[in-house]
Amino acid sequence: MAELRPKQRAFLKSLAHPLKPILQIGKDGVTHAVLQTIADAFHARELLKVKALESCPDSAKQVGTTIAEQLPDVHVVQVIGRTIVLYRRHLEKPELQLPA
């Protein structure tokens, strides 16, 4: 999947604003269990927020990059403070219609 364009990124940011983080990443960092939880969550929704706690050994930006590298077709929409917004288009039933 191609990189998100600025207009698409802005659209996803606006949708993500009211969302609450579904997962908190702590002192163990990005583990296999964390990746599995995120992959499972993407079956139910296309846009997720994840929080990197103070005890996390990596920065939020590093956490987002690691998740995007480890899971197929996942994009980091934005990182604000310790909150990471992730997007992956649902293959069978996409809910979000990104602007062109």
pLDDT, one tens digit per residue, over 26-56 is 999 999 999 999 999 999 999 999 999 999 9
Model confidence pTM above 0.95: no
Statement: residue 75 has pLDDT above 60: yes
Helix/strand/coil (H/E/C) assignment for every residue in the chain: CCCCCHHHHHHHHHHHCCCCCCEEECCCCCCHHHHHHHHHHHHHCCEEEEEECCCCCCCHHHHHHHHHHHCCCCEEEEEECCEEEEECCCCCCCCCCCCC
- pLDDT for res 1: 55
Q: Name all domains of the chain by residue range, CATH numbers in brackets.
A: 6-87 (3.30.110.60)
